[in-house]
Amino acid sequence: MRRLLLLAPLLLFTAGCGVLQSSEGEATDAAREVAEKAAQRLYGQRPRTAQDVGRSAAGIDGVDVLRVTGTSTHDGDGIDVVVRTSGTAPDGWSNPQGLTVLRCFSIRVSPRSEWNQTPRDVDCPEGPRLVFAPLPEPPRLPYEQLRAKLPRVPEDGRVDEAEVRRTLAALDLGAEIRTEVRAEDGRVGVLLLVGGNGFDAQDCLLARVAPGATEVWVPSRVQRMPGEGGCTVGNALDPQPPPH
């Protein structure tokens, strides 16, 4: 009986250590899950610079970027991003707030990366998290101005392509905005386009001047995705049906 009483504190201490280790493991798994979701967000086939990847990673909730190596996703082995995440797990009655840990992981971003890759555990580099300058705001497309300035042609009138072109020139658009004008079957189509990154929806404005009707509109986001053909002067002349 006396021996059992002497062993009791030791057994209790051992059990307590087991709970601590289990809580730390659960918290680490939670931190790894955040890194795995970040890797999925960074996955993609389009070329990106180290600055682009770092900025994207830094914008993910719960992620601190500590190191970025490589120059481009399509050069050599691609880009490695070391991120720091946190995870929390229950830690028994003595710690109602739970156990929180900080862990670091390396994420490879390249055309050969897998969408469901498991980030590699690494030691956290010394120093503060990296801060990336935000992308410059894209120029604003002049929807109201274009709508107000484009000519209105009577139903029995004739659309003057040269007048449409003069209207666009008078708007004094910045060099970042590309314009295209095309005449077809008595109508004139107009495209105003801001160059995109080849991945997100493009920013564009369409207009069509026809006898009896002058229209200005922004295509749906689905149509403005790369490859969908929404941001073309052809779509201004013959609009695509709305997505279902």
Confirm if 194 and 136 have CB atoms less than 8 A apart: no
Extract the tokens encoding 233.
Answer: 């002067």
Q: What is the pLDDT of residue 226?
A: 84
**What tokens does 49 get?**
């610079």
Model-level pTM? 0.61
CA proximity to 217, closest of 191, 243, 198, 197: 191
Q: Is the pLDDT of residue 6 over 60?
A: no
Q: How does residue 3 score in pLDDT terms, banded at 50, 70 and 90? A: very low
Could you report the per-residue pLDDT of 136-167, keeping only the tens digit for each?
788 899 999 999 999 999 999 999 999 999 99
Of the candidates 212, 215, 232, 214, the one whose C-alpha atom is nearest the C-alpha of residue 224 is: 232
pLDDT in tens, 91-114: 777 777 778 999 999 999 999 999
Per-residue confidence (pLDDT) for residue 12, from 0 to 100: 42
Q: How confident is the model at residue 2 (pLDDT cuts 50, 70, 90)?
A: very low
- φ/ψ of 207, rounded to 5, equals -150, 150
pLDDT tens digits, residue range 48-92? 999 999 999 999 999 999 999 999 999 999 999 999 999 998 877
Give the per-residue pLDDT at 21: 53
**Residue 17: pLDDT over 90:** no
Residue 86 and residue 64: Cα distance in Å, rounded?
Answer: 10
- The helix (run of H) or strand (run of E) holding residue 84 is strand 79-89
Q: What is the mean pLDDT of residues 24-37?
A: 94
- Dihedral through CA 230, CA 236, CA 238, CA 243, nearest 10? 30
Of residues 98 and 216, more confidently modeled: 216
Return the H-helix or E-strand segment holding 182: strand 177-184
Each residue's pLDDT tens digit, 178-210 = 999 999 999 999 999 998 767 678 999 999 999
Strands 203-210 and 187-194: antiparallel
